Every structure is written in C-alpha cells, then in structure tokens.
Amino acid sequence: MTGVYPGSFDPFTLGHKDIVERAAKFCDKLYIAVSENINKKHLFSLEARVEMIKEVYSGNNNIIVESFNGLLVDYMKTKNSKYIIRGLRAVSDFEYEFQMAFANRSINSDIETVFMVPDSRYLFLSSTIVRDIAYNKGDVSKLVPEPVYKRLVETYKHNI
C-alpha cells in the first residue's frame, strides 16, 4: 500500500513524526507531501520544510518527502496512491478532516482517508503551538525533531 501524508508541516512536530512512523508500518511506501497553504502565513519556506523533514528521515527508504502544489488527489495519481493518512487530535480536527475526506472522494471515488490518533503525549501539539512557544523563548526541544529544533533556534536567534 502506498500512502500519502499531506500537510504544511510548519514546523514538523513530534506529533507528525508519530503519525508518520506508525503509518510507515502498514504502508510499503509513504509520501510526506508538503504543501503551501494559501490560508496560512508560513514561518519556513516550502523548501526549508521539505529539507528539515528529509533530514529527519534520511536513510529511510520507504518514507519519501516531496513538495506538491495543486489538488492532493492529482498528486496522489502521480504516486499511484489511493490512501490519505491524516492525524486527528480533537473533535475540531475531525470536523475539518471529515469535510476534506468527502471533498477528495467527490473528486476521485477511489480515494480513502485513514485517520490516525497520535500518541497521547502529542494530543495537545500543533505547529501553531510550537511556533508560539518558540517565538516567546520557550523550550520546544521536546516537541520537535532535532533538525527542526536547530532551525527554530537559528530562526529566533536565541536558545529555546
């Protein structure tokens, strides 16, 4: 099975990493599909986000990190995938993800969305929370993978 885990990942958190590593157990190949989100102001460029996540998964042959633009279902066709992997932390996530799952299926009826709940340690964690803590000089070292932590320290020019 080939899965696609899409998101803006700004930045990639340990919650994202938890979903990726668990999904990789049942996917022969898992694409982390990094996208621009026109509704968000990004801290990191698309290229920087891809680079950081690639560093996290260097040496792992079944996890591929790429950027994409356009419709997710079109990207999935190029990867011969029918499975979208999405993480759910709260009811508010479910409402949005439920709408997106039906929208994607309305475009391509072969698409299935697989919802995964992160480890309980990460239920509170979001990229927004990480950016807010880092901006305010809080410690995010236990919230993001090492390559992301280093980039956050560089970006905010202080120990966080």
Q: What is the pLDDT along the chain (160 residues), one digit of tens a residue?
A: 999 999 999 999 999 999 999 999 999 999 999 998 788 789 999 999 999 999 999 989 999 999 999 999 999 999 999 999 999 998 778 889 999 999 999 999 999 999 999 999 999 999 999 999 999 999 999 999 999 999 999 998 765 5
Domain residue ranges of the chain, discontinuous segments joined by +: 2-123
Q: Which of 77, 82, 89, 105 is catalytic?
A: 89
d(CA 40, CA 6): 15
Task: Supply the pLDDT for residue 103.
Answer: 97
Q: Which of 16, 17, 49, 86 is catalytic?
A: 16
Q: Is 39 helix (H, G, I), strand (E, B) or coil?
A: coil
Task: Supply the pLDDT for residue 91.
Answer: 79
Q: What global pTM score does this model have? A: 0.94
Quickly name the fold that domain 2-123 has.
Answer: Rossmann fold (3.40.50)
Query: Would you list the DSSP string of 88-149?
Result: --SHHHHHHHHHHHHHHHHH-TT-EEEEEPPPGGGTT--HHHHHHHHHTT---TTTS-HHHH
Task: Supply the pLDDT for residue 158.
Answer: 64
Q: Which of 40, 121, 137, 150 is catalytic?
A: 40
Active site residue 105: no
